């Protein structure tokens, strides 16, 4: 397991599939995380293997990818339902939740990645 | 083949107005000049499925959505809003100002809270502007004059792909005839992004330390570099000094800022401090700041809400007059407090872009969705009303990120109702149910 910081943001593929969020293309564009090579090695995980990213606000399983230019302390997930499963909902009294800079842990897992509909269904209480 | 020229792209806040769209038999077959995002948006209805019919869940969130008529869906939506004690209307940013005007009327009519996607985007920038101001200019002025471009917490290569060629780093301006050769570019980001690759200087700060970095730059600009430690926000002091020198040497600086400033620790206080930095630098140089707006007409929402009711977002009409206090009346604030009892959204996708805690609550209250495409919001919506795509299937006005109004064209015919028509019909129905007759 590594301790890191979650950042979520737009990517061009996530943006290009925004109007087709039920599609495989959107899933491929938004349901993954990026770490640098060293972090991936430390986890003993290879590209496209699943990892569990956890914060104080939730847990999400996504496949891992490499962004060689990422610093050691950042895990990146494109903005969307998978990132938002674990972002900080607190608005700190100014309206805006914490979508970036959320302390997180990453570990290898054999659990599957939920598709959009199944992920949303977990919110039904 | 008929080619429609000067088409406005309705994806991002750049609102590029030079697209060339080929229409054959009421189908868009080619979109020239757009970026990948703009092409996907403009041709979307021919590339993937859309919501074909209005739909209602008849037996709660566990039941399936069933097709119905526009009339039935609109009546059901009006019934939900009239029955609610504290409804909220959210979104309305990927649509026309004309539709947003109707959304304001509906919110007033139903005593709703009323908020835009700025709640999860540039809301803190509006607060920063109100605290300290935000000296700005048009993108045209920026293109022609700016010789230093700073992208702070934004990644235009991915989010606003034509920004650099049309308005900023790569654009050839009246005083920068050689484009990039006549300009310098600084990127501030914890990630070494694709935008950062082309920068003259990358300030790769630790996540959440934007405020500290702005403060350090202000100290240097104001002659107090001596008080700074050797490392600031994870960046060597010498690099921060270099950035400050570039700012001092530039004739015209534009700071384009994004979610890296608004969504991190410090929220609006970071934007507020950027404004102070602009003020400090402006003692000797020309400096402006422009927010990189995401939804193409989120700027328009702010304009319309402000001219109709006095505030740009997070309004509360429950008192009969508009009340505004983001942090209290913002959408995620009220959802987190479990305060509202009905939800209507259009031209936005809170299901995909809200944090988990807010969505859990949206599964507990009646929800109405007005949109062209199925998305995570559809999953918890009890009423789903399909809408025409503004700027493709109906015309209207939108505001670019620099607050310039631009007229969107209608490119093809459609049988779907526009957001404006849907909202007008809901308003009439609400008035009828309240015993006030039609619109
Ligand atoms: S930069 Fe933005 S407005 Fe311009 S074509 Fe791309 S998505 Fe459309």
In chain B, % of residues over pLDDT 70: 97
Sheet of strand B323-324: strand arrangement = B65-67, B55-57, B383-386, B367-371, B342-346, B87-91, B113-115, B315-316, B323-324
Determine contact: A19 vs chain B, CB below 8 A: yes
Dihedral class, residue A31 (left if φ above 0, else alpha if ψ from -120 to 50, else beta): beta
Query: Average pLDDT of B130-150?
Result: 92
Query: Residue A125: its pLDDT value, please?
Result: 81
Dihedral in degrees, nearest 10, Cα atoms B169, B172, B173, B175: 90
Query: Residue B437: its pLDDT value, please?
Result: 55
What confidence tier does B439 reach under pLDDT thresholds 50, 70, 90? very low
Question: Under a CB-based contact definition with an 8 Å cutoff, are residues B315 and B322 in contact?
Answer: yes
What confidence tier does B326 reach under pLDDT thresholds 50, 70, 90? confident
**Unique residue bearing structure tokens 């995909």:** B352
Query: Average pLDDT of B369-381?
Result: 97
Could you give the maximum distance between any two Cα atoms of chain A, in Å? 40
Query: Residue B274: its pLDDT value, please?
Result: 84
Q: Looking at chain B, which residue has its C-alpha nearest residue A69?
A: B192
Question: Under a CB-based contact definition with an 8 Å cutoff, are residues B31 and B11 in contact?
Answer: no
pLDDT at residue B262 tops 80: no
3-state DSSP assignment of residue B168: coil
Q: Pick from B37, B151, B150: which is nearest to B94 by CA?
A: B37
Residues of B with Cβ-Cβ distance to A70 under 8 angstroms: 191-192
What is the DSSP annotation of B78-137?
HHHHHH-SSEEEEE--SS-HHHHHHHHHHHHHHT-EEE-GGGGTTHHHHHHHHHH-----
B339-374: pLDDT as tens digits: 999 999 999 999 999 999 999 999 999 999 999 999
Determine contact: A125 vs chain B, CB below 8 A: yes
Dihedral in degrees, nearest 10, Cα atoms B323, B324, B326, B332: 40
The sign of the CA dihedral A15, B19, B156, B348 is negative
CATH code, A8: 2.40.40.20
What confidence tier does B124 reach under pLDDT thresholds 50, 70, 90? low
B275-319: pLDDT as tens digits: 899 899 999 999 999 989 888 999 999 999 999 999 999 999 999
Query: Domain locations in chain B?
Result: 3-44, 50-119+296-434, 123-291
3-state DSSP assignment of residue A75: strand
Contact state of A101 with B204 under an 8 Å Cβ cutoff:
no
B45 vs B19: CA distance, rounded Å: 17
Fold of B123-291: Dimethylsulfoxide Reductase; domain 2 (3.40.228)
In chain B, % of residues over pLDDT 90: 86
A57-97: pLDDT as tens digits: 999 999 999 999 999 999 999 999 999 999 988 887 776 77
What confidence tier does B126 reach under pLDDT thresholds 50, 70, 90? confident
The sign of the CA dihedral B350, B405, B12, A7 is negative
Question: Under a CB-based contact definition with an 8 Å cutoff, are residues B214 and B287 in contact?
Answer: no
What confidence tier does B117 reach under pLDDT thresholds 50, 70, 90? confident
B133 vs B129: CA distance, rounded Å: 4
Residues of B with Cβ-Cβ distance to A124 under 8 angstroms: 61-62, 363
Dihedral in degrees, nearest 10, Cα atoms B353, B369, B345, B110: -150
In chain A, % of residues over pLDDT 90: 87
B52 vs B344: CA distance, rounded Å: 19
Query: Residue A101: its pLDDT value, please?
Result: 86
Query: Average pLDDT of B2-24?
Result: 96
Listed by number, the residues of chain A in 35-54 with a beta carbon closer than 8 Å to a beta carbon of chain B are none
Q: Which segment of B143-157, B247-261, B413-427 scores lowest on mean pLDDT?
A: B247-261
Residues of A with Cβ-Cβ distance to B120 under 8 angstroms: 96-97, 99
ipTM of the complex: 0.96
Query: Residue B342: its pLDDT value, please?
Result: 98
CB nearest to B260's CB, from A11, A70, A100: A100
Residue ranges making up the domain that contains A29: 2-121
Residues of B with Cβ-Cβ distance to A23 under 8 angstroms: 48
Query: Average pLDDT of B130-134?
Result: 78
What confidence tier does B438 reach under pLDDT thresholds 50, 70, 90? very low
pLDDT at residue A41 tops 90: yes
What confidence tier does B321 reach under pLDDT thresholds 50, 70, 90? very high
Contact state of A124 with B41 under an 8 Å Cβ cutoff:
no
Query: Residue A18: its pLDDT value, please?
Result: 92
Q: Pick from B162, B171, B125, B166: which is nearest to B290 by CA?
A: B125
Query: Residue A99: its pLDDT value, please?
Result: 82
Determine contact: A76 vs chain B, CB below 8 A: yes
pLDDT at residue B269 tops 80: no
Listed by number, the residues of chain A in 102-121 with a beta carbon closer than 8 Å to a beta carbon of chain B are 116-117, 120-121
B361 vs B380: CA distance, rounded Å: 10
Query: Residue B133: its pLDDT value, please?
Result: 75
B305-317 burial by CB neighbour count: b if 16+ within 10 A, else e? Answer: beebbebbbbbbb
CATH no. of B50-119+296-434: 3.40.50.740
| Beta-carbon count within 10 A of B322 CB | 19
Contact state of B41 with A70 under an 8 Å Cβ cutoff:
no
Ligand 1: centre distance to CA B157 (Å): 11
Determine contact: A66 vs chain B, CB below 8 A: no
Q: Pick from B265, B349, B213: which is nearest to A90 by CA?
A: B265
What's the residue count for chain B? Answer: 439
What confidence tier does B36 reach under pLDDT thresholds 50, 70, 90? very high
Count of domains observed in chain A: 1
**Which atom of ligand 1 is the closest one to the Cα of B9?**
8
B206-252: pLDDT as tens digits: 988 999 999 999 999 999 999 999 999 999 999 999 999 999 999 99
Question: Under a CB-based contact definition with an 8 Å cutoff, are residues B177 and B143 in contact?
Answer: no
The sign of the CA dihedral B293, B358, A101, A86 is negative
What's the residue count for chain A? Answer: 125
B149-199: pLDDT as tens digits: 999 999 999 999 999 999 999 999 999 999 999 999 999 999 999 999 999
Q: How far off is chain A from B44, nearest CA to CA, in Å?
A: 7
pTM of structure = 0.94
- Tell me the Cα Rg of chain A: 14
Q: Which of B35, B39, B258 to mutate to test the pocket of ligand 1 (most atoms within 8 A of CB)?
A: B35
- The ligand 1 site (C-beta within 6 Å) comprises B 9, 11-12, 14-16, 34-35, 37-38, 160-163
**Which atom of ligand 1 is the closest one to the Cα of B19?**
5
- Residue ID of nearest Cα to ligand 1 atom 1: B162
Contact state of A94 with B61 under an 8 Å Cβ cutoff:
no
Q: Pick from B177, B240, B235: which is nearest to B207 by CA?
A: B235
In chain A, % of residues over pLDDT 70: 99
């Amino acid at each position: 397991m590594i301790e890191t910081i979650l950042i979520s943001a737009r990517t061009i593929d996530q943006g290009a599939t925004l109007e087709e969020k039920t599609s495989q293309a959107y899933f491929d564009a938004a349901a993954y995380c990026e770490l640098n090579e060293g972090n991936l090695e430390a986890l003993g995980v290879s590209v496209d293997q699943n990892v569990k990213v956890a914060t104080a606000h939730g847990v999400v399983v996504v496949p891992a990818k490499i962004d060689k230019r990422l610093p050691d302390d950042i895990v990146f997930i494109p903005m969307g339902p998978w990132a938002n499963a674990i972002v900080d909902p607190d608005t700190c009294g100014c309206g805006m939740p914490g979508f970036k800079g959320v302390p997180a842990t990453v570990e290898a897992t054999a659990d599957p990645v939920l598709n959009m509909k199944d992920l949303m269904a977990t919110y039904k209480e | 083949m008929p080619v429609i020229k000067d088409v406005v792209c309705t994806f991002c806040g750049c609102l590029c107005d030079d697209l060339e769209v080929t229409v054959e038999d009421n189908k868009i077959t080619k979109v020239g000049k757009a970026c990948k995002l703009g092409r996907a948006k403009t041709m979307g209805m021919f590339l993937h499925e859309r919501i074909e019919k209005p739909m209602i869940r008849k037996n709660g969130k566990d039941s399936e959505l069933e097709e119905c008529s526009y009339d039935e869906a609109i009546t059901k939506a009006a019934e939900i809003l009239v029955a609610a004690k504290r409804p909220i209307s959210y979104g309305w940013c990927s649509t026309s100002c004309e539709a947003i005007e109707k959304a304001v009327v509906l919110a007033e009519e139903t005593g709703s809270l009323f908020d835009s996607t700025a709640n999860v985007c540039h809301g803190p920038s509006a607060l920063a502007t109100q605290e300290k101001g935000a000296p700005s200019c048009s993108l045209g002025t920026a293109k022609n004059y700016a010789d230093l471009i700073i992208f702070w917490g934004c990644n235009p290569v991915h989010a606003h792909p034509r920004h650099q060629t049309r308005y900023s780093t790569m654009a050839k301006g009246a005083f920068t005839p050689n484009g990039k050769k006549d300009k310098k570019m600084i990127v501030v980001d914890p990630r070494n992004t694709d935008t950062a690759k082309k920068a003259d200087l990358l300030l790769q700060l630790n996540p959440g330390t934007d405020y500290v970095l702005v403060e350090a730059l202000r100290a240097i600009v104001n002659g107090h570099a001596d008080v700074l430690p050797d490392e600031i926000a994870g960046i060597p002091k010498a690099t921060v000094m270099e950035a400050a020198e570039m700012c001092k040497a530039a004739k015209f600086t534009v700071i384009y800022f994004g979610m890296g400033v608004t969504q991190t620790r410090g929220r609006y206080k970071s934007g507020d401090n950027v404004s102070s930095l602009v003020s400090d630098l402006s003692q000797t140089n020309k400096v402006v700041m422009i927010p990189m707006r995401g939804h193409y007409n989120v700027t328009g929402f702010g304009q319309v809400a402000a001219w109709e009711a006095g505030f740009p977002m997070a309004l509360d009409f429950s008192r009969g007059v508009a009340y505004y206090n983001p942090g209290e009346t913002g959408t995620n604030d009220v959802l987190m407090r479990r305060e509202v009892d009905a939800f209507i959204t259009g031209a936005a996708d809170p299901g995909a872009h809200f944090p988990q805690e807010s969505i859990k609550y949206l599964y507990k209250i009646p929800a109405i969705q007005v949109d062209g495409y199925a998305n995570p919001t559809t999953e918890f919506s009890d009423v789903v009303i399909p809408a025409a795509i503004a700027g493709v299937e109906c015309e209207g006005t939108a505001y670019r990120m620099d607050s310039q109004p631009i007229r969107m064209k209608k490119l093809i015919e459609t049988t779907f109702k526009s957001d404006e028509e849907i909202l007008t019909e809901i308003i009439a129905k609400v008035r009828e149910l309240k015993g006030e007759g039609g619109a």
